[in-house]
Chain A
Amino acid sequence: MAKFKGAIVVDTEKCKGCGLCVVSCPTKVIELARDVNGKGYHYAHMANPDACIGCSSCGLVCPDTVITVYRMKAS
């Protein structure tokens, strides 16, 4: 059981669906959506939220700074 619980919020309209966050995630939380945003990109989303540990890796590598990361101690 991870010591931290995390979550991300993606600005889906600004996301360009590059997928760099997907491969950066150590716990395989993120996937590109089947749906597309207004620009036609398959935006990133938390497909497996329970696994998120709030490590910020996705935020750091996101070229468009569309990911905000939250983290709290696991209860």
Chain B
Amino acid sequence: MTATTELKNIISEENKVYGKTSVLLDNEMHYCPGCTHGVIHKAIAEVIEDMDIQEETIGVSPVGCSVLAYNYLDIDWQQAAHGRAPALATATTRLMPEKYVFTYQGDGDLASIGCAEIMHACNRGENIVVFFVNNGIYGMTGGQMAPTTLEGQVTATSPYGRDCQTTGFPMKISEMVSLLPGTRYVTRESAETAGAVRKLKKAVKKAFANTRENKGLSFIEIVGTCSSGWKQTPVQSNEWMKEHMFPYYPLGTLKDE
């Protein structure tokens, strides 16, 4: 058998082991090459398909790079003002308690301008899932310092490296929300390898299962990259993330009750 005929044999519908879930729309994503948002969107979409909850899920998108998340997942969406996604999600779950409601927020949106809303939604134990994408930088506005920017990290507004004496310290949001009694599940994940993505999907599944069981708020932080903001290639970004982000933002489950 020649190589070409063998390939033809393999590439057939019954041999398909991985492809695009129907919960993801065909729209091309506007994200930069290698952006972690795409992988996280896909992981959420795949879990929604696996759990067969597409008709019952409502997403709340933030302001930031993922403002247009509603162009990619084929579910109903609300697009929140900057930082306010947990407030929208609160009303949505209170008024439609049988639905699966999630917010999808970046570090500027959740940890800076939306700090009050996320803390209080967590404290009230709203029955929602929060996806917190932490890449330590403002992506959409052009790479400015975020509350989660690492000490010494160079950004557009910390051009000489973040000086913690004047700008404060990188905020460990997952640790903070895990102290609140309203949160039931708090975990920090990543999405740079196949193994990490599988783990992330497991966490997403658990979080939506918590919603189904009316357990309260599940908080999933995903440490990701921003190649454009970090001014590195996507592959270099993953290496930089492992070397610098993971030691300060250690992966793993912080709370599971």
Contacts and interface: CB of A to CB of B under 8 A. Distances in A.
Interface in B14-29: 15-20, 24, 28-29
A70 B17 contact: yes
A17 B32 CA distance: 10
B222 to A, nearest CB: 13
Interface string B14-57: 01111110001000110111111111001000000000000000
A42 to B, nearest CB: 10
Interface string A33-75: 0000000010000000110001111011111110111111000
A56 B19 CA distance: 9
B194 A57 contact: yes
B3 interface: yes
A61 to B, nearest CB: 6
Nearest to A67: B18
Contact of A7 (B11, B227, B234, B235): B11
A50 B1 CA distance: 12
A60 B197 contact: yes
Contact of B42 (A9, A24, A54, A65): A65
Contacts of A16: 32-34
Interface residues of B, number: 37
Given A41-B33, A70-B12, A71-B17, A61 B3 contact: no
Contacts of B11: 7, 9, 70
Nearest to A52: B10
Nearest to B43: A60
Contacts of A62: 38-39, 42
B19 A61 contact: no
B8 to A, nearest CB: 9
A14 interface: yes
B101 to A, nearest CB: 24
B231 interface: no
Interface of A: 5-7, 9, 14, 16-20, 22-24, 41, 49-50, 54-57, 59-65, 67-72
Given A24-B194, A63-B37, A64-B29, 9 more contacts: A5-B6, A6-B17, A9-B11, A20-B238, A24-B193, A54-B17, A63-B39, A64-B38, A71-B10
Interface of B: 3, 6-7, 9-12, 15-20, 24, 28-29, 31-39, 42, 191-194, 197-198, 227, 233-235, 238
The 8 closest A-B pairs by CB, nearest first: A63-B38, A18-B34, A16-B33, A57-B194, A69-B18, A18-B33, A59-B18, A56-B18
